[in-house]
Structure 1
């Protein structure tokens, strides 16, 4: 049975973009959030081979270090013609300087090198909630689309080169409200992280009042 999250949670990230999105998603549920970065917690080595494994590593490390429930996301871009790369190494392709413009250029150059005309790709988000006693909840979301020349300055990471199915705009041209906003009556959401969060909210969150 799923466990209900209430009170305070640690968002196990040092990524400012993810932190903003997660706080906005949690806000309607009255859950106070502090980040691992704000607590000065170290970033654990992400040694998993799947998104869910790396999310669990981060969530459990933060829960053990803080004594609070912790919420972690591991996400990335999977390009069909690159055999799923960069995948779990999406952040590493940007290097220590977090140069995602360089990472996007690398993807396009690799597609050209392979002579690949297929530009299909998808984002994956694995969300893990972990408690200090080891209890764990896992949820995943995906969004499919095509890669294009980078456009727009909204979002972060690979957003400017990803055009979700049904849209002419890239994630870099879509507002944060539209990208990860949730229609709670229908449960519809656009981004991979928001879709995973819808599943998490249904299982582990309750609206106040």
Structure 2
């Protein structure tokens, strides 16, 4: 089975291919407009619907799109779905102006799946942890500021740990289990 992944990030596609090993995952780079929403699930669904409308894919096509964010408990989940715009506008390090190191946080991911029967679904994952002073040069985004529970290194210091224990991986495993049951 072939699944198109609507993303401009080839690293996400490679990660998805590793988990969805029984499928062929192919990158589809279609520009979408990210809605302003407090829900990563709504954003992922919006992206997948936009790609279906904009692309000339066959009706029998499986397609996924995702969204994720860093949710800081003491900031009522901010930056959450605004993680990328916050980073672009003021820089991720400014998060430390808002919270002290040790603040509880979680990374959450939502992966929307468009299936041929037209019934879109969303799969989610999360990893609990805390905000720390930036450590490491690996990964991307907020990875150097996030220390996952059960690890003594940030995702910036240990990107391989992230690949094996991430919020996106958890959502992809749920997606894989769904495909195995239904298709």
TM category (shorter chain) comes to 0.7 to 0.9
Alignment of 1:79-158 (within 5 A): 79-95=72-88, 103-111=91-99, 116=100, 119-131=103-115, 134-158=118-142
Q: Which residue of 2 aligns with 1:75?
A: 68
TM-score when scaled to structure 2? Answer: 0.86
**Structure 1 unaligned residues grouped into runs of 5+:** 1-5, 97-101, 182-189
Label 1:45 to 1:191 Cα distance change in 2 as closer, same or farther (>3 A).
Answer: closer
Label 1:179 to 1:168 Cα distance change in 2 as closer, same or farther (>3 A).
Answer: same
User: 1:93, 1:132 → 2: CA distance?
Assistant: 35
For the aligned residue pairs, the C-alpha RMSD in angstroms reads 2.1
Post-superposition CA distance 1:9-49 (Å, at most 9, x none): 221112344333223323x21x2222232xxx222332433
User: 1:92, 1:43 → 2: CA distance?
Assistant: 15
Q: Number of aligned pairs? A: 177
Indicate conservation of the 8 Å contact 1:63/1:132, yes or no.
no
Runs of 4+ in structure 1 deviating by more than 4 angstroms, as ranges, are none
User: 2:146, 2:77 → 1: CA distance?
Assistant: 15
Indicate conservation of the 8 Å contact 1:17/1:155, yes or no.
no
Indicate conservation of the 8 Å contact 2:108/2:126, yes or no.
yes
**Structure 2 unaligned residues grouped into runs of 5+:** none
User: 1:154, 1:16 → 2: CA distance?
Assistant: 16
TM-score when scaled to structure 1? Answer: 0.76
Residue 200 of structure 1, aligned match among 168, 175, 178: 175
